[in-house]
Each structure stands twice: as structure tokens, then as C-alpha cells.
A and B are shown apart, each in its own frame.
Chain A
């Protein structure tokens, strides 16, 4: 057992005022209902104590506690007032967006969905809302679910200009994001404005996806839309996901992402007007199924398929196409990453490999010699039970592998889990004699900044860092190859008996170490690192699903 003191977030309780402010007084979630309730309580107490009768009419009536506590949402389909006057001009959206709404015409058949293939947006304002009813099956897209992307009025744009803009973006993507490869691009004019939208496909560590960009007259910019968090709450998101389909005849884009932990499908059908304005026509997420921003079906049970069925019914109304991508620089730099992690042949020289380091982390160890596989299996099962994120989503897709990297007869445990942002990520754990604990290695970044797999800052302090990322092993040399993504180009660790972890190489864009000594980031050091990699026979771990 660890001799460390235990600490939890409850240590932050009973703080002094300075600490309370440091924790962040704006971090609390106080919604309008809670605010109104507390104001009413305040005024009631003040009136009772002072004898002064405050005007209670000014204090809004509040929701009942029971509704809040149970988490039951008030189901008030505040359908916005019916659309009356039409202005068949999407440019008007700019002026009308605040008080107005889009009408996305939709009937039950594809033929009736959008009468004009060019897809005019039909707009009105609240002030105009006094006349006749629109077509009965029209969909009102709430103004909150409209996102105005950058666009251009230029009419002199050539395909060469767009090709150049596309390449500029892809070059920067390839250069700045070492964890992305297998990039492809596709031009498609979804909104019929004669300026094709750009779609980019990419692979990332264990994942990948597709993403859409719009041209602003100079560059291709990431396209966005407004997505439902819950009814009446939106959040701005990129138009990107696991899969994008298009329906140019109706100006539609379908984007879908599957959360494999929960099985929730996050899908949307977006309509794009000539000014690159995206309207969220249909959306499926973990809170339900939405039409034009209004929840049509609330999802309360994860096993309920009704919302998905409804969304799929909308999806199948249209004639969808897969995107056809042109590979970007097939033989070039962007494939370098995959090559570096390929197992190399055994005959290569190992003369370049450093075998010692100033950076040493002593992981927990045991002297016991009576450890059985049954004991380790039991400990492994406890790892799953205690996994740090089991209260969230990610415990449904965990796999494990044993491998005795340091040759001490006690196999290390490796866990592979799925993360939404980065696909599969692996962790290494060592056996303490009682339990498996996360393994770590030491690094001292001194004053250098380093971005980890999430782009989070990880600098100025040295310390022990989890062995967490893409892991390959070379048991014959007691080595681990770790790639954390982000700015990290790779780490080679030596794991010796006694669970001693030595950081032999650390290569990132910002800082490089060999044997715990900082070295410059140069062609020579890169060659040495590559030679070190090539000198080992790296093995992928073979993972088994948990019981």
C-alpha cells in the first residue's frame, strides 16, 4: 500500500475567502430559476425581519423544487409564433437572425422537401408574424439553430485559387499535427454558390474523421453549426464527425458520430444556404431527437430507440452520397508517422541505442515470489472496477493485455480504452504486490512548453507522468515505445527489474532529451532517435476484452 496521504476534492471545503475566490465564484451553475428562487427567499426573509413589505409581484414565480431535483425538464414546446411573411432572400438572415427564424420547407417526401434545388432560405421576423399560416408541414428552424459561417461575394474565384487554399490548409494540418495522417480532400458545391465546399478526411491515433470547410474569399475556414445540448440550449460545433454524407440536390449535409461507450449516436442533417449559413434541420443526440431545434422526442432511457428511428426516417428521405476523397501527398510526409511505428527487422544495428538515463522513476514494486496468475487476474478485475472514469462512459470498451517487459516474472498490465477524441489509448500498470497501479516515467520539461495529446499545457514543472498513449513494447530489450500524440514525437522508456523506469529518449517538437540530457531538435538528433527506434523489434500488444 502507498504511504502517501490521501487527498480529495473535499479538502477544498471550509476554505478562507481568498481560496473560495481562487476556486472560482463564477464556476457554479446558477440558472435563472435558481436565481429567482433565491431572490424570492431573500425578499420573504427580509420582509419578515424588517416588517417592510417588498413588492412580491416583482419576484418571478419559480419552478417547483421537485421538478428541478428530479431532473425532469419542463416540457414547454415553445413553438415560436407561426411564420407569416416570407422574404426569399438568405441575405436577409443577417438582419433578421436576432428576432427571426428560418423556415426550412420540408414535407414527407424528398420531392417536396426543398422545392428549389438552389435552396433559398425563407425568412421572416417576429414583426411580420401577423399574417397567414405557412405550409402546414414546414419546419421552423429556431434562430438559435442557425449559424452564419464566413462567405464571400467574389465572383472571380478560380479552381486554381481554391486548390491553392486547400493545399495551404492541408500543408499546415500535416505540418502542425504530427498525429494526423492519411489525409484526403474533396470539393463539393453543396449550396450551389459556385464555390465548392472543402471536405477533409484524416486518420488520427486510433481514430479519424471527416470535416467540412467553407471559403471566405481568401482561405478555407472550418464550418460550424449550432447543436442542441438540451431543449433551448445550444452549443457551437464544427461540422465534422466520423462520417459525412452529402445531398447537393437539397443543399444538405449529414454528419454522424457514434459514441461507442454509450452507444449514443450524435447525428445531424444540416442545410447550407448560399451564404454558407448552416441551419440545423434534424438532430439526434443523447438528449433526444430535434426538428429545427425543437425537441420532438425526449430520450430518457438509453435503450430507447425511438429517437434514433425517428432520425433515421428523416435521413432516408434524401438521396445521400458518400464523399470521394483525393489522397493528399500519398507518398509524402503525412505517412511518416505510421512508418516510424512499424516493427522493424531484427538485423538493424542497435549500436545507436542509449541504455541509461538521468531521468529515472521508481515505480511501486514487490519482492514477493509467490504471486499467482489468479491473484493477478483478480487484481486486474479490480482495476476495471476502480477505473477512473467508470462514472462516465468509457468503461464499456476496455481491453487488457499482460506483458512482462522487465523480465521479473510479474507481467505488467496494459489497458486499452476508447477515448472520444483520440480513439484507442493505452495505459501501462505495474503490480505492487497487492494491486496494479499506473506506471509512470520521469521527465523534466524545465522552461519548455509541451502539448500533450489534448493540447493541454504540460510545462515548467518536472515530474512523473503516466505511461499513457500509444504503446508498443520490445521485451527482449526491456523497452517501451510511447507516443502521446500532440507535439510528442515519441518516447523510448527502459523498464528494468524493480520496476525502475528510465526515460532513454523523449522527442517532441519543443524539447528533446537523450538519456535525460536536453539536446537540440535537429536533423542529427532526429536521425539518432530514428536509429534507436529502428534498432528494436517493436511489438503491438494483443488485447483481450474484459470479462
Chain B
């Protein structure tokens, strides 16, 4: 426990409280130690937080200078916060348990976290508080319910799918595109051709057809071949669209980072190293199958497991 100010009463040291760290991860999967960053998070990825807390109750009674005959009651509380900034923008109580006698086994705290309510960060504050008022003459003994006796705070930055991830959404095409040509397609790339300067995540979105259940499941699980096929097609569509448009082709190299043009340029450099835009355009026109296969090869992301 570390604070930038001194509390005006006796508190509990780490010797009295046995706590190592929170474990975090996906519900039902093995959890891993919490760290400062959680990758690949989004609103749909609910989380699980687990911790073990041990408490030497007799030592706590002594440490707080409890008067004889007064029963000590301690509250174990967990508050979860979210929102960027120095302080969390929203704090909510997630766990509360009052302990009034020595515990025989460590307390297991297991908290499901609903990710749709998170934003940018996950702050987890575990505290031990005085649960009820105490009557005492000892000026150093905490007396008022809620007095903060021990705390541990974990602060996790949530990587929320900004620049690093492809804008993708799984939905039912029968509902979303009823009566349209793409209704039975396994995926559909929504983009506006001829706007290489547009922000990539704002103007491009890949829809995966939830009605193709097996395919959608493969995408969700990150099946390498499925992803390679789908993303390869996306790369082909976007690169072709830019190369076929003379005006867009001329502006590709001037596009800012994060734009559609900059993403296309990156793919072209990977697939056709040391070739100019004009040469790639020539290859696409003369041998379209080689052009397509080169981009499909570039979409190989290896085994994601």
C-alpha cells in the first residue's frame, strides 16, 4: 500500500494482509496476472477478475490498537472504475464483504466485468475499511465506519481497437441487407471508393455474415486460413479500387498515417517490395492473377493461437 499522504490513524500493513495480485482474462478461460495493458479488448469482450485475499485477523486487531471487549469488523470492498484521465470518470462498487472473525481460508474474490460499460481503462481498487464505528479512547485507533485501512489499486489501459485493428462487425445479413445482392455473401466490405485521404477506421468497415454460423465462428476464433482468405479479398478490393482510379493513384503516397491511402500503400509495399505504384498498376493490368495471389500471400498472418 502506498499513499501520498498520511492517514490520521493506525492502518494495516502488507504483513497483515496477504494479497498478491489480480488475475484477469476471458470468462471460462485460464486467467493471467493483471498488467498495465490489456490487448485486443473491445465492448464485446467481457472480462473476469479473480483474486485471493488473506487476512491475519488477530494481527489486525493488534495493529489497529483495538480496545479490549470491542469487536473488530472489517469490510473488504472492491470498486471498479473506468474512463480516461487522472481519476476514473465512473467508479462503482463491485464487491463488499464484512469480516468479524479470523478467516480459516483465504477469501476468493471472483468478479465478472461487463465490458460494454468500460472505456479506455479498467481501474480496480481493493480496500479494507473499518466496517462499523468503534468506541475507543485511543486517539490512534480508527473509529469511524469507512476509515481506509489498506488498499491496492490496479490500473489497466484497455487497447480498444483503434489504429491497430481492422474495423470489423459480425451481423445478420438477412436483417441488415435484406433484398440486397450481398445478403448471402459470407462477408461484405463497406467502403467509399475514391477517398484515399479518409480516415481508415471511419470509412472502411468489414461486415461478417452471422447467418453463416460456421464461417462467423471461424472468424471469431481467428482461424488463420479463414482470416487470410477474407482479409486477402479486402486487400485486393481496396488496392484495385485505388490503383484503377487515376486521381487516387496519384495521391496514395501523400496520404497521412491512419488514412485509407496510407493503409493501401502499406499493403502494396508488403506485397510488391521496391515496386513503384505505376509498376504495380502495370502488373495488375497485365497479370491480374499474380497481383491477386501476391496480396493473398501478404494476408497470411500465421497461426494466431
Asked whether A and B interact, the reply is no
